[in-house]
Chain A
Amino acid sequence: MAEQPHIELKDVRKSFGPKHVLNGINLAVDRGHSLVVIGGSGTGKSVMLKCILGLLEPDSGSITIGGKSVVGLRGAERDQLMRRFGMLFQGAALFDSIPVWENVAFGLIQGQKMARAEAKDVAFAKLGQVGLTAEVGELYPAELSGGMQKRVGLARAIAADPEIIFFDEPTTGLDPIMADVINDLIVSCVKQLGATTVSITHDMASARKIADDIAMIYKGEIIWQGAADTIDESGNDHVEQFIHGRADGPIQMDVLRP
């Protein structure tokens, strides 16, 4: 029997009122693999990620992690599960009332009850891993540039050595060089941990760099999935249009043409 996928979504649906955002998502990620989900704005990428994380509950369908269903978990079980996750948010989502190192150590101190001094050492080690010095650790998030905030967010995501890490648009809003630095850091950090990752992005350069597999989401469905190096021969018109960034093609934006 083939190894069971680490994360598996089957026919996941989610609507907000009359708006159907996810129309039956089917997706599987093998242990230790890096899956990047590409797709335009408003196609349901973020909602899918939040459903896996448990921040949103799908209307129907199943989500299993390591073969165990995780939909509707609450309380201690949910906390247990969250401890296996790390997440890098699009805007980094650092807590601005506490210094950088405490941000990184937050999950260790609050979630795992590690002593503050010990957690601080771990935090500085993780900051070093993303190329930030100890001085940065004493600053507050508002004093950092966007790229540095992203790196702190990455350090926080890997602080508790999670087995699954989620990246929400890791390179959006960064200059191309910083974006590549982040991509490199993601690849090296993930390799070091041996974690399974799910990323969502619309940045193809980033997707090519960090993905083992790529899936494309369109109108709440996965329309193509394959190994990252086969994306140029996908034979799918939607994928072709997206990776080449053409305005004309099967995907039509709701834009009034003059």
Chain B
Amino acid sequence: MVNFVAQIGRVVLAFLEEIGRLSLFTKNAMFAGMLPPFYLRQVFDQLVRIGYNSLPVVGLTAFFTGGVLALQIYIGGSRFNAESVVPSIVSLAITRELGPVLAGLMVAGRVAAAIAAELGTMRVTEQIDALTTLSTNPYRYLVMPRLMAAVITLPILVLIGDIIGVMGSYIVATTSLGFNSGAFIRNMVDFLEVRDVVSGLIKAGVFGFIIALMGCYHGFNSRGGAQGVGRATTNAVVSAAILILAANYALTNMLFSE
């Protein structure tokens, strides 16, 4: 019995310790990153690697999701004789929810893993220590550019994903569900509000922060050679995905409760 309680205590303590470490890491990154010098080259590099290179993944995900949504909502709608809701519901679902969340999860898989593996390898080969000895703050040089790039590019990726997703549903609706092209677009434009899109983009910015932070945090704290880097990579992706889903709930609550 005592053992059991001790076990719970240990888990809780470890959890709190992790939160403390993560908070300190975030604080260090923010404080160091606010001060000059700013490494614009690094930021640009990361914009390309995190943003531009994620376009195919995000685009394909959005396209197929849009298509499948059109099919499912058509089936659901037809049971109430309300097939005409397809354009409005698809666009709402994509801009508010599926665009940011799916893009976030896909980019988490790509980018959080890549960042954790890169920084983890730099940690175990002492490259991060080497940065410090060359008068370069590793938080400023490595972490801040990645955070900035992810926060900037995720909303752009999601906006592009939104457009491609709606296009996917448009193609499915007009080719196999018998929608009239003009009616589809009019219906969608009439229902969609600016805040639907904007709230999705705000979410995307937060998800971008989570992705880069988890990649950097786990990479920075990796220990013990190849296995340690592998563990850091897995942890980065899993924790980023879970935090994205949790943050999504919190944000939806905040942005839509009035």
Contact = CB atoms under 8 A, between A and B. Distances in A.
Interface string A43-67: 0000000100111000000000000
A82 interface: yes
B129 interface: yes
B135 A89 contact: no
Contact of B129 (A86, A89, A96): A89
Contact of B134 (A50, A54, A82): A82
Contacts of A55: 129, 132-133
B130 A110 contact: no
A4 B122 CA distance: 38
Interface string A69-98: 000000000010011011101110111100
A110 B141 CA distance: 9
Contacts of A110: 37, 39, 134-136, 141
Interface residues of A, number: 24
Nearest to B45: A97
B141 A89 contact: no
A91 B132 CA distance: 16
A236 interface: no
B103 to A, nearest CB: 26
B160 to A, nearest CB: 27
A87 B130 contact: yes
Interface string B107-129: 00000000000000010011101
A226 B171 CA distance: 83
A42 interface: no
A85 B130 CA distance: 11
B70 to A, nearest CB: 43
Contacts of B137: 79
Interface of A: 50, 53-55, 79, 82-83, 85-87, 89-91, 93-96, 106-107, 110-113, 156
Interface of B: 37, 39, 122, 125-127, 129-130, 132-137, 141
17 contacts: A53-B129, A55-B129, A79-B135, A79-B137, A82-B133, A82-B134, A83-B135, A86-B133, A87-B130, A91-B125, A93-B126, A94-B127, A106-B134, A110-B39, A111-B134, A111-B135, A156-B134
